[in-house]
Amino acid sequence: MDIRQHTVLIAEDSPTQASSLQETLEEKGLRVLHASDGIQALEMTKEHLPDAVILDIEMPGMNGLEVSANLSRERSTKHIPIIMFTSHDSATMVQKGFVLGAVDFIPKDIFAQAVLLETLRQLHILDNSEFANNA
């Protein structure tokens, strides 16, 4: 059994959203890093090589789509799953996110955190017992 603590990077410019996500993920036993803009997200991902990156699309400095494209091109980061977590919900934006390397696209709504936790479980970043015990 893998006892290593998984790390997730949240790239979110809203302190309220970031804090809420961080609290939820830490309660599930994950180590959480936070970047407040796209440039910082890119730098922190390259430095820490997290198990997954959760990207907002609209961020200062560099948007989430640009960050995703950069990470997908880099040899050291292209294996890291990217989850788009955003208020954008147009089909074009979703398609663009997938083309640029996202493995999932989660709209910010009342179910977003539950969907995010399930996505992390499917990526084996959260294990099934942790998910079932704390759901």
Looking up residue 17, the CATH number of its domain turns out to be: 3.40.50.2300
- Does residue 22 fall inside a structural domain? yes
| Overall domain count for the chain | 1
CA distance 89 to 91: 6
CA distance 96 to 130: 33
- Does residue 134 fall inside a structural domain? no
The bridge status of strand 52-55 relative to strand 31-35 is unpaired
Give percent above pLDDT 70 in the chain.
Answer: 92
Amino acid at 61: G
List pLDDT tens digits, range 73-121. Answer: 999 999 999 999 888 777 888 888 888 889 998 888 878 888 999 999 9
126-135 average pLDDT score: 59
The residue assigned the tokens 């997908």 is: 72
